[in-house]
Chains A and B, each alone.
Chain A
Amino acid sequence: MVTLQHYLLLSAILFVLGVTGVMVRRNLVIVLMSLELMLNAVNLTFIAFSRYLDSVEGQVFVLFVMVVAAAEVAVGLAIAVSIYRQTGSINVNDINVMKW
């Protein structure tokens, strides 16, 4: 039978995967996706807790997280597009005009 830990562990793994994505990928778009992945992991945690605490607060919170995620994606992609227009590159590691 499935316990809370299962879900938490699963979400933790997802979260780590998301971070890994951010760390390893160069493609800006996919970096953004990995961020989404992290948020989703959090969502899973929330839902799991809300189930086991039997409180709906977590689910509500998740809805808001989704809103935020959507917004971030929108803006992020917009920036990605405009950067691609200007530099012709979508490689995160190329974006280092400013340093030191």
Chain B
Amino acid sequence: METVMFYILGAITVASAFCVVLIRRPIHNVLFMILTMIGLAGLFILLHAEFVAMVQLIVYAGAVMVLFLFVIMLLNLDELRLAGDPGGGRWWLGVLIMQIVLAMLIPVLAYFGTSAPADAAKITTPSNTTVVARELFTTYLLPFEIASVLLLAAMIGAVILVRKND
């Protein structure tokens, strides 16, 4: 059962990621991106990370991608078709290199072996959300606070970057 789900979701994710990279029409890119997100969220659930999966859906598929959508609409890039996109430059070289990297990574990753999943006791009892929340607000309190600063900075930044020069 789990295996089946994994392959289905994995297929969806990879396929839509492919589309994100290759399809020319921005709107479709966004939609496929959202699809990738959803796929990932599914995989997260398979991995007993329900909370993260939810956040994934809400923050990513919800907020972030909508932001993209806004921008595309705002600048109505949808009609815009850039010549020779995808492609151009020395892209093939990059891709080639990434293939090499991947080829080298696979044996490395193989190091982790085909270990059977441990029983996810720690991360699910009493419930994943509880565990995450507890960790987040005890051990990781400081980063959490710093993150707020980060977001604030990003906010101000976004404001002054797009502010019209008056």
Contact = CB atoms under 8 A, between A and B. Distances in A.
Direct contact of A and B (CB under 8 A): yes
Interface in B99-137: 99, 101-102, 105-106, 109-110, 112-123, 128, 131-132, 135-136
B128 to A, nearest CB: 8
Nearest to A58: B49
B60 A54 contact: no
Q: Which 5 A-B pairs have the closest CB atoms?
A: A23-B94, A71-B154, A78-B161, A26-B85, A24-B86
Interface of B: 2-3, 6, 10, 13-14, 17-18, 20-21, 26, 29-30, 33, 36-37, 40, 43-44, 46-49, 51-52, 55-56, 59-60, 63-64, 67-68, 71-72, 74-75, 77, 80, 82, 84-89, 91, 94-95, 98-99, 101-102, 105-106, 109-110, 112-123, 128, 131-132, 135-136, 139-140, 143, 147, 150-151, 153-155, 157-158, 161-162
